[in-house]
Amino acid sequence: MVVEHELGRFGTRRARPAERTRDLVRNPYFPIWPATALLFLVSPLIAPGSMATSALSSTIPFAAILAIASIGQTLVIQQRGLDLSVPGMISLATIIVTKYPGGHNSGLASALALVVGAAVAAGIVNGFAVTRLRVTPLIATLGVNALILGVILQITGGSSTATPAPALVSLAFDKTGGVPNTVLIAAGVIAVVSLVMRRTAVGRRFVIVGTSAPAAYVAGIPVRAYVWGTYVAAALFYALAAVLLAGYVGTPGLSAGNDYLLPSITAVVLGGASLAGGAGSVVGTAMGAVFLIQLQQDVFGAGAPTSVQYLIQAGVIGTAMALRNLHLGAGLRNALSRDRRRGQLPASGAAT
């Protein structure tokens, strides 16, 4: 009976419930869940009314939009990069999708096609600079962001007063089955990306490239194609977030994307991904976006100025990175100690 309990099919050992719980807690993506739950519990104390139905209904769509944008940032960070073209891409997409339809549904389809084309072009330029010109991702994406801002000024002449098409407004504001469409779209994106990353060969190769590009190259994986495709995919996610944002806010300004650079990075870090590249979790990133939006709601509800919000975001990034490093360090020490007890490694201080 003991043997049957301990061993699964083909002699592989089944993890006990206690072991599965311990492994879950050690997972670098796990801490954001209890942290978010705790934040929602203390929110009424920090900002009374922040948990009211009206307050939540107004913040949840923004959390969904930030989650979609942060997924793009997650992919780039997994490839050891950092995308600073987020503000420009979101701003450009919001302007295109509101300016070109002229407030009419008939022009919405062509405007969306232009948004897709602009996102693909921006991603191609980013990928070319990083893979072919070997420019540091930080510098490459910063330059592309400046280029996009120039395109925005050329299109708008410095002012933007266009309103979105009614169909786009309906898409952003309406609910399906009582759930906001923005949340359903974000959930669908998260599910698809997570499935691709975890269950397909493309996703596994993507993680290998981000973990060690030289090893991936030796294994025959087209490293440049994966990195290039990452920036294109990321730009498309920024564009999708921008389209929903344009429909929700109505008349986005020229700098609509400026509020998404630091939050997108913060959400990725809160979700447990490492800025050194490799593994990441889009589900963790999405929960990080929820945490961050609720934190902003609490800060505003408490009457704190915008400067305090930025300080809090910087503090959250630093704290999350420090806790993650401590978490991984403890996991590594536990693994080494376990291997020593099993005799797989020499005892500490033993001659090698």
94 pLDDT more than 90: yes
113 in any annotated domain: yes
Higher per-residue confidence, 251 vs 335: 251
Q: What three-state secondary structure class fits 287?
A: helix
- Token pair 């806010």: residue: 249
pLDDT digits 0-9 by tens, 100-111: 898 889 999 999
Cα–Cα distance for residue pair 320/153, rounded to 1 Å: 37
pLDDT of residue 24 exceeding 50: no
For the cut 70, the answer to whether the pLDDT of residue 315 exceeds it is yes
Distances in Å between the alpha carbon of 205 and those of 29, 199, 258, 316? 20, 11, 32, 31
- Whether residue 188 lies inside any domain: the answer is yes
pLDDT of residue 5: 37
Tokens in use for 303?
A: 């009457």
Q: How many domains does the chain have?
A: 1
Q: CA angle, corner 31, sides to 29 and 34, nearest 5?
A: 130
Structure tokens at 282: 């889009």
- In this predicted structure, what is the pLDDT of residue 51? 83
Helix (H, G, I), strand (E, B) or coil at 275: coil
**Is 108 exposed, middle or buried, given 0-12, 13-18 or 19+ CB atoms closer than 10 A?**
buried
Q: Is residue 1 part of a domain?
A: no
Helices 32-46 and 282-301 meet at what angle, rounded to 10?
A: 10
**Cβ-proximal residues to 148 (8 Å cutoff; 6+ apart), any chain:** 85, 88, 89, 91, 92, 122
On the question of pLDDT at 40 being above 80, the answer is yes
Residue 335 placed within a domain = yes
Give 190-209 pLDDT, tens digit per residue.
Answer: 999 999 999 999 999 999 99
- Mean pLDDT is lowest, of 31-40, 63-72, 236-245, 338-347, for 338-347
> How many residues make up the chain in this entry?
352
If you search the block for the tokens 């997994």, which residue do you land on? 78
The verdict on residue 15 lying in a domain is: no
Q: Are 247 and 162 in contact (CB under 8 A)?
A: no
In sequence order, the 6+-apart residues with CB closer than 8 A to the CB of 338 are none
Confidence of residue 7 (pLDDT cuts 50, 70, 90): very low
Provide the CA 288 distance to its chain's centre, in angstroms: 8
Residue 163 lies in a domain: yes
Burial class (CB in 10 A: 0-12, 13-18, 19+), 99: buried
For the chain, what is the mean pLDDT?
Answer: 84
Element (H, E) at 165: none
Instruction: Please give the Cα distance from 342 to 56 (Å, whole number).
Output: 51
* pLDDT per residue as tens digits for the range 73-82: 999 999 999 9
Q: What is the mean pLDDT of residues 35-56?
A: 86
352 lies in some domain: no
The range of the structural domain enclosing residue 216 comes to: 28-43+50-340
Flag the least confident range among 34-38, 125-129, 234-238.
34-38
Q: Does residue 264 belong to any structural domain of this protein? A: yes
- pLDDT, position 210: 93
CATH of the domain at 272: 1.10.3470
pLDDT at 304: 76
Is the four-CA dihedral 54, 247, 185, 175 of positive or negative sign?
positive
Q: When comparing pLDDT for 30 and 167, which is higher?
A: 167
Closest C-alpha to 60, from 40, 31, 88: 40
pLDDT in tens, 117-158: 999 999 999 999 999 999 999 999 999 999 999 999 998 887
CA distances from 44 to 40, 41, 338 (A): 8, 7, 44
